[in-house]
Each structure stands twice: as C-alpha cells, then as structure tokens.
C-alpha cells in the first residue's frame, strides 16, 4: 500500500471513530511512539474496573479509564496495539497483565479479496470490553485468567455489563466531524506496467 | 580475476563463448537436489563466480538425489554450500565459488543486487516467498534475473522472471502457505513461529536433474542474449507424456507480494559500514551525518516469513521457565522463539519453557531506534545481532514537525550498508 494511501486510510478511520463515539469518549491525538504513525488517546467515562498491575487480582471500581491505540509504521499489514495507562489497567479477561488489550485476530489482505479488520472495529471492541459487554468476553482464550471467576461472578449477579453500549457508541446519524486535512502528497502514484502483448 | 582462469575454458575444450560467462555473477540459494546440479553445470560452462547459500548439512540419504560432487560418507554432516564450493573450486582450479552456511533469512535485498542471476533452489514455500520479497525490493537498475525451479513427482519445471510481468508468488496457490501455527501477538514480542514440519515429496534424481538442466540452459541462453527465455515457465512432463512445454506466466490479481513489495528506488549507500562489524551507534552516526540532523527514527528490520510479520526488537523479557527478568536483550523477534527465551541458569540446567507462562509474562519492545531510546547498551550492539540482515534496506523516517502522520508528511529514507556486498565473499557462517 502506498504511504499516502495508508495515511488516508488512517485519517478516514480516525474520522469514523470520532463519528462513532458519544461525548463520554474523548479522543485525542498525542505524540506517537518511535516507529508509529499515530497514537490516539481515549478517555472513557463509564463505570468499569481496573487493576494496578499484573499481580493485582482485586479489581477496583472507577468511572474513568484511559487507553491508547498505537498505529505502527507497517500499518495496515502490522496490527495496531491497544494498551491502558500504567497503574490503571483494565480488569478483564481480555486484557493482559501488562496492560495490553487482546484485540483478537488482525486480518489484512492487500488485495481486498478477503475481510480486513479495521481500527473502528478494534476501538468498538475495546469500548465494549470496558463495559463488560458479554459479546466480547473471550473465556476460550483468556489474556488474564486470574480474573475469570471475578468477571463471571459479576455477569451472573447482573452487574455486567456496567451500562448500555449506547453510553459510549452512537448508533444514530453520524456527527459532523470534519476529516483532518492531510499534508499534500508529494509522491507520484505508481504507474501500473502495461500487460505484455500477445 | 586471474587470467589463468581463461585456460579453464581452453584446456577443457569448452566452447569459446563460455569465456564471456567467466565474469557473470550468480547466487544459488539452496544446494540440495536441484541447486547442487545447477552449480555444477554452471561451473562447467564457465560461470565460476558463484555464491552458494544453504544452512543444511549434507546427509547420507541426500546422495541418492544430489550431484556426485558430494562424497559419501566423507561429506556427511558438513554444510552443503561449503562442501559444494570446495568441490567446485577443486574442479575449476581457483577459489571462485564461495559457500555460505546460512539461512536465506540472514540476507536482505541489497545482498543480491548487482548479481546477474539469482537461482532459488529451495524446498519450502515460505523461503521461496521470502526470497521473492527480497528480490522484488531490489532497485530496478540493479535487479538480477530470478530463476527458480522444482519437481512435482517425476515432472520438472523452471521459471525465469525479470519482475516486469509477475513475481514468484503469482505462481503459487495461497493455500500452500497456510500455517495453522501462525498467530500474531496482541502484546509484547511476536515470537518466531515454528516452521511446519516439511512435507517431503517423493521425487527422483532424474526429475531434479531435469529441472537443473532447464535452469542451467535458461542461464546460458540469457547470458548469450536470448531474451525469449525471460518471463517464461518451462515444464517437462515425464513418461509417458515426454513433453516439454513453455509458456508465459501471468500476474495473479490477488498476489499480496505484487501489492506490498515494489522496487525501492533512491536507496542511499552508507559508506564504510556493514551489519556484521558495525554497531547501532555507527549506523546512527552515519545517518545523522547524511541527514545533517539527529531528529530521525531508524525503523527496526521488518521480516515477513511464513505469513507472520516480525518487526520489533525485544528489549526486556522474562525467562519462560522461572519467570526471572531478562534485561537489555535487544534481540529481534524473528530470532527469538518462545521456547528459547530462558535465563542462563535454566539453559544450563537444561530446563524447558513453560507454556502456561505465555499469557502471564510479556516483554517490552522497540519498533524504531531514535536518540531518545538508544542507550549505551543498544548503541554498542552489532547491527546483525539486533536483527538487521546483510544487505538490509534500512528505513529512516523523519517527521515533518507535526504531531503525527495526519499532520505533516513523514519522509522515508532508504539506506543500505555499502560494505554488506563486499563482505559477502568473506562470510563463512551466519546464525539467524
């Protein structure tokens, strides 16, 4: 994929993410890590639980949690990473002990013959996991199995999910978010070579 | 080259035009059933400047399908490339052929630039695709011809491509590349996935020789200037068909490599530097001198193998047996398997990795090296040891002053270490 196409895709997905979320999710572009194209910071205002480190098995309640979507230089062939801020990692069977969220299989087909995972879909999944939507809890392949009993107990007692999905994700008309103005392309489009003549 | 080498043609009553072949440079990757025969036939027609690459040792049971240059049982257990080079040099009478005990994955695109022909005589699709991806990235004006072949039962084929019509992967079915063991990591290091056990096809020395003959003949025709052999696939069907056919292969619309890998133009050579002897610090200084700036990021080597991508350096990790911290490893993901991430104590005691720890302990990684994250230890690391391959195209990025890629254009600068090509003739063995 041409670099300018990659940037355009990121910009389009960023716009879609902004349109998808409600005001309870604040999205901010922050300084990327070395080797990353972009880093998005998500501040989520919803009832959820966190642990302070990988050894903590006593989740604490909070109504605000922060995660980052790290888009690497090799995107979309290289999958993005999602991680929570240190000291306040999401307490979930889908979140590893080091604070990285398990975002499942990443599919990229440069020929677009098959399905491709999107950033929007990834963010949606993380938001659903934050409120413990049962559709995303993966007990078959747990990133943090120490929290399995705790999470299942909460589901059984009716405390999970902690709120409606519409608290975080908009299902009505998209908002009027303008797409970022991208830098001017300075790279010429590659010319497809002519097919050999018979 | 010593002028006496010309006697090689005259003394052996070989065709005069073979003298023109004496200066041709050929790299043969894979010295097994097909590669061994090809090397022999090319040497016997005057193509003496060969580089042979293989990581496998010659085994007694290989003898039934390979060239008789390998001696049984004397050469059993020895590296194929080195043994074959030695035998060919004995034949030629001069040290012309160089053998390297290494995997193809130790080499990047520029290791093969400026060769006349690359011959892929490999037995697994993952390696062929890797070779294809390297070859596709070589700048157009320095791109060698690619010839590869194989056998299917008693049938033999060879393919000669120059990159203008299709690539190697266009000729493959994606189903052949499926590895159920592939899974990408959500977090931390993406350890090297074990290769699937090879499925050995039943074939014969006759079929291997037939493929080798086709490859050698293609080479000969190309060196003589017959462009008609380029972008052709030749297939020989054995008895009862006894049929030899040729046709032009076509680009596959769904070929991922054609989409993802293009010739890298404007690659700049960093002088007096190579990945085997110079450090990360040397590389940073060389790039800094070129860009006249210290504000840049050097991307970590990106390797795609067996449909999995490895693009990070593991900085710190945990022993997969006892859980002890392993600090300042600076090892590339591709060179790190989960099973081998052990502390010295566990290694010495012969302990094994604990699969149950896989989800619990995760290392930290780097995707790019910059002045902010390059400490003294990393600066002192040899480039090859942190994952940069011989002939790697090293990408350096400079952000345009804005916040991220959506804000300002990120500039990409491709570099390679100029001395990498020079040291190819001095490399004996590489681990990686």
Look at residue B65 and give its three-state secondary structure.
Answer: coil
Return the residue in B367, B397, B408 with the most chain A beta carbons within 10 A, the one to mutate for interface testing.
B367
pLDDT: which is higher, A173 or A39: A39
As a whole number of angstroms, the distance between CA B363 and CA B109 comes to: 30
Burial class of B155 by CB neighbour count within 10 A (0 to 12, 13 to 18, 19+): middle
Contact A34 B367 (CB under 8 A): yes
Contacts 24+ apart (CB under 8 A), B409-413: B409/A183, B409/A184, B409/A186, B410/A3, B410/A37, B412/A3, B413/B268, B413/B287, B413/B290, B413/B291, B413/B296
Per residue in A20-62, pLDDT tens? 999 999 999 999 999 999 999 999 999 999 999 888 999 999 9
Return the residue in A17, A90, A111 with the most chain B beta carbons within 10 A, the one to mutate for interface testing.
A111
The whole-number pLDDT of residue B414 equals 96
Chain A residues touching residue B304 (CB < 8 angstroms): 77
Q: Write out residues 78-107 of A within 8 Å (CB-CB) of B.
A: 78-79, 81, 83, 96-98, 100-106
Chain A residues touching residue B361 (CB < 8 angstroms): 97
The whole-number pLDDT of residue B195 equals 66
- Whether residue A198 has pLDDT greater than 80: no
Two tokens, residue A176: 């009027």
**Which of B192-208 are b and which e, b meaning 16 or more Cβ less than 10 Å from the residue's Cβ?**
bbeeeeeeeeebbbebb
Contact B259 A111 (CB under 8 A): yes
Q: How far B38 CA sits from the closest chain A CA (Å)?
A: 29
As a whole number of angstroms, the distance between CA B310 and CA B190 comes to: 7
A60 touches chain B (CB under 8 A): no
The string of DSSP letters for B193-211 reads PPPPPP-PPP--HHHHHHH
Look at residue B335 and give its three-state secondary structure.
Answer: helix
The whole-number pLDDT of residue A62 equals 96
Q: Write out residues 125-144 of B within 8 Å (CB-CB) of A.
A: none
Chain A residues touching residue B367 (CB < 8 angstroms): 33-36, 72-73
Pairing of the two strands B117-120 and B25-29: parallel
Q: Hey, what's the torsion of the CAs at B5, B6, B11, B13, to 10 degrees?
A: 130
The whole-number pLDDT of residue A29 equals 95
Range name among A1-5, A87-91, B140-144 with the lowest pLDDT average: A1-5
Contact B187 A29 (CB under 8 A): no
Q: Write out residues 278-317 of B within 8 Å (CB-CB) of A.
A: 297, 299-300, 302, 304, 309, 311
- pLDDT < 50 stretches in chain B: none
Q: Mean pLDDT across chain A, nearest whole number? A: 87
As a whole number of angstroms, the distance between CA B86 and CA B89 comes to: 5
pLDDT: which is higher, B187 or A133: A133
Q: Write out residues 158-187 of A within 8 Å (CB-CB) of B.
A: 180, 182-184, 186
3-state DSSP percent of chain B in helix, strand and coil, to 5? 35, 20, 45
Contact A111 B165 (CB under 8 A): no
Query: In whole angstroms, how far apart are CA A105 and each of A51, A117, A118, B186, B353?
Result: 25, 8, 11, 8, 25
Per residue in A113-123, pLDDT tens? 666 789 999 99
Of A21, A61, A60, the residue nearest A43 (C-alpha) = A21
> What is the rounded average pLDDT of the residues A132-137?
90
Let me know: does A82 contact A116? Beta carbons within 8 Å.
Answer: no
Let me know: does B129 contact B407? Beta carbons within 8 Å.
Answer: no
Do the interacting molecules here have an ipTM over 0.95? no
Cα nearest neighbour of B373 on chain A = A34
Of B148, B160, B139, the residue nearest B261 (C-alpha) = B139
Contact A37 B405 (CB under 8 A): yes
Q: Write out residues 88-127 of B within 8 Å (CB-CB) of A.
A: none
Of B90, B142, B96, the residue nearest B1 (C-alpha) = B96
> For the whole model, what pTM was predicted?
0.89
- Whether residue A184 has pLDDT greater than 80: no
Q: How far A32 CA sits from the closest chain B CA (Å)?
A: 7
């Amino acid at each position: 994929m041409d670099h300018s196409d990659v940037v355009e895709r990121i910009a389009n997905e960023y716009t879609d993410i902004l349109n998808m979320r409600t005001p309870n999710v604040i999205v901010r572009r922050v300084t990327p890590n070395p080797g990353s194209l972009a880093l998005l910071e998500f501040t989520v205002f919803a009832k959820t639980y966190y642990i302070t480190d990988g050894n903590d098995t006593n989740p604490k309640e909070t109504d605000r949690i922060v995660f980052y979507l790290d888009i690497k230089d090799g995107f979309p062939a290289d999958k993005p990473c999602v991680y929570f801020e240190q000291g306040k990692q999401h307490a979930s069977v889908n979140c590893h002990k080091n604070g990285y969220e398990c975002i499942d299989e990443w599919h990229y087909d440069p020929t677009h013959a098959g399905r491709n995972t999107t950033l929007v879909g990834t963010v949606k999944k993380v938001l659903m996991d934050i409120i413990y939507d049962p559709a995303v809890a993966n007990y078959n392949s747990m990133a943090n199995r120490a929290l399995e009993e705790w999470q299942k107990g909460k589901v059984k007692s009716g405390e999970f999910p902690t709120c409606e999905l519409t608290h975080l994700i908009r299902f009505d008309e998209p908002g009027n978010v303008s797409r970022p103005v991208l830098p001017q392309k300075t790279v010429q489009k590659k010319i497809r070579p002519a097919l050999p003549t018979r | 080259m010593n002028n006496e080498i010309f006697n090689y043609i005259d003394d052996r009553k070989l065709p005069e035009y073979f003298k023109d072949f004496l200066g041709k440079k050929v790299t043969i990757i894979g010295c097994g059933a097909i590669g061994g025969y090809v090397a022999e036939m090319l040497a016997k027609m005057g193509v003496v400047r060969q580089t042979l690459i293989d990581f496998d040792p010659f085994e007694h049971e290989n003898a039934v399908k390979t060239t008789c240059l390998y001696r049984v049982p004397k050469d059993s257990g020895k590296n194929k490339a080195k043994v074959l080079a030695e035998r060919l040099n004995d034949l030629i009478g001069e040290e012309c052929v160089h053998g390297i005990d290494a995997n193809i994955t130790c080499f990047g695109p520029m290791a093969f630039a400026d060769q006349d022909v690359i011959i892929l005589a490999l037995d697994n699709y993952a390696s062929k695709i890797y070779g294809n991806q390297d070859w596709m990235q070589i700048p157009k004006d320095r791109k060698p011809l690619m010839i590869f072949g194989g056998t299917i039962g008693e049938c033999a084929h060879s393919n000669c491509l120059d990159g203008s019509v299709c690539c190697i992967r266009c000729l493959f079915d994606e189903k052949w590349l499926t590895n159920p063991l592939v899974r990408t990591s959500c977090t931390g290091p993406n350890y090297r996935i074990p290769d699937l056990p090879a499925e050995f096809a039943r074939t014969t020395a006759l079929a291997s020789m037939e493929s080798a003959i086709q490859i050698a003949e293609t080479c000969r025709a190309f060196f003589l200037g017959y462009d008609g052999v380029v972008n052709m696939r030749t297939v020989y069907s054995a008895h009862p068909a006894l049929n030899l056919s040729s046709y032009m292969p076509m680009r596959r619309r769904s070929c991922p490599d054609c989409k993802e890998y293009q010739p890298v133009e404007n690659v700049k050579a960093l002088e007096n530097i190579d990945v085997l002897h110079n450090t990360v610090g040397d590389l940073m200084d060389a790039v800094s001198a070129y860009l006249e700036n210290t504000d840049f990021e050097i991307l970590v080597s990106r390797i795609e193998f067996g449909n999995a991508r490895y693009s990070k350096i593991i900085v710190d990790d945990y022993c997969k047996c006892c859980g002890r911290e392993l600090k300042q490893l600076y090892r590339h993901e591709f060179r790190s398997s989960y099973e081998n991430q052990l502390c010295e104590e566990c290694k010495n005691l012969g302990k094994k990795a604990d699969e149950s720890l896989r989800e619990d302990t995760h290392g930290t990684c780097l995707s790019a090296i910059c002045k902010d994250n390059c400490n003294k230890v990393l600066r002192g690391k040899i480039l090859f040891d942190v994952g940069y391959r011989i002939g790697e195209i090293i990408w350096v990025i400079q952000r345009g002053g804005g916040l991220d890629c959506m804000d300002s254009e990120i500039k990409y600068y491709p570099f390679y270490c100029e001395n990498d090509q020079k040291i190819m003739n001095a490399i004996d063995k590489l681990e990686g």
